[in-house]
Structure 1
């Protein structure tokens, strides 16, 4: 079988921008994890209240991702990503300026809504930029941003929160999101059509046993990952009295383990 032609340089650049968008979204989503101590200190919150900002984001994202595709999935995919990045960045800016916990919750809900228009759409947008034979490579390139976020994004967030404070961290997320939106607008071509998802199709999937088992695997896997990420920092700090620099190292180790696990599973699945 002949190898697929290489992806054109301009398309490769566009795919790298989409990978950057995934990196920014994933890092912003989990930036709270490495910044729990800084958030608690800045706004006078308990670790439990600070950690709830992760849960609020996750629940919003889970509910909004399919709902937005039902309501607005017909929009051109690049437009969906731009809308998501704009809302995500504005919400991060609101979080940086939040006077209290209630506004922080609103900001995290809005970040979840924005993220629901970014992550779930990026792979489809990337695959739509290339011929069918290159779609696997294109999706893998886009998803690299998510993997790098686990390796670099969270440790970087923890370090930035320690150096610049929680407000400085969320301001940086807002700026990164806005700059990424400009890159998407400049370097990612238009023309990849969206597809409206029917609510009836989603409901039908929820009552079929073969789909339910897959959903449960994803549910428990995500729950375990988010629980580990959320409570790793308080445990390291309160039980082992770890310095902020060691927390960043621990998050980096966790990210490396995740990438290695993905590589092992990918190779095993090909056999």
Structure 2
């Protein structure tokens, strides 16, 4: 019957959800650097690969419903409305009880011990959060450093289209599209895995052949450029040497040989004779008469 089928499907869905919740197996595969992966790698792979189709469908529908509810329903207002109604009701009950019964009614429902989170639960949550952060960090670095070139190309395409779509789509529509692609993309790949793998292999072969062709062309162009550069260097070197030779032949100072200067014989010096000098006086010199005395001697006395 219909009720039996519904109960059976509900039981199977519950079992798959419980199995997905308990699926915390760290995979044996490691990264290219030898680091171990987290249990979120196994969890998300099991979720997005549709190994448990009912659990994956329920999670997909839940995420879509949350996005639509956040867009079209005033969830935040409802939260504050629930808070002020519950707090106001408890305050009214407490005040009424103290006035009428001389005893608070709300305080009578107070538990003997307030609820607290156990330390083991907090540590488990923090450890789980650490594993989640490590999952995103490891996957981002594996994609960034091209550990798998296909994943890097897919991530590049997603980032490129997201850059343009975010300009024309509101945030809720963009989130809806991203979640739909994240859940239905792996399903489409699994359904057509052989065809997609064949096309990917053909694309890789074509890329490798084109890369080899470009490498050969680059080698040929490099060889031709090297020969041409050597030829130009030889031509310019020959022209430079020819120019230097012409400059040396045109310069008279450089072409003339040094002229030997003939030293003229110096004329012999004439010998000095004793007769060339006057004889030295032998008598002692006498004092000459003064001018008045000479005048008196020349004029006779009257």
- Structure 1-normalised TM-score? 0.23
Larger Rg: 2
Per residue, is there more helix in 1 or in 2?
1
Q: Using structure 2 for the length normalisation, give the TM-score.
A: 0.21
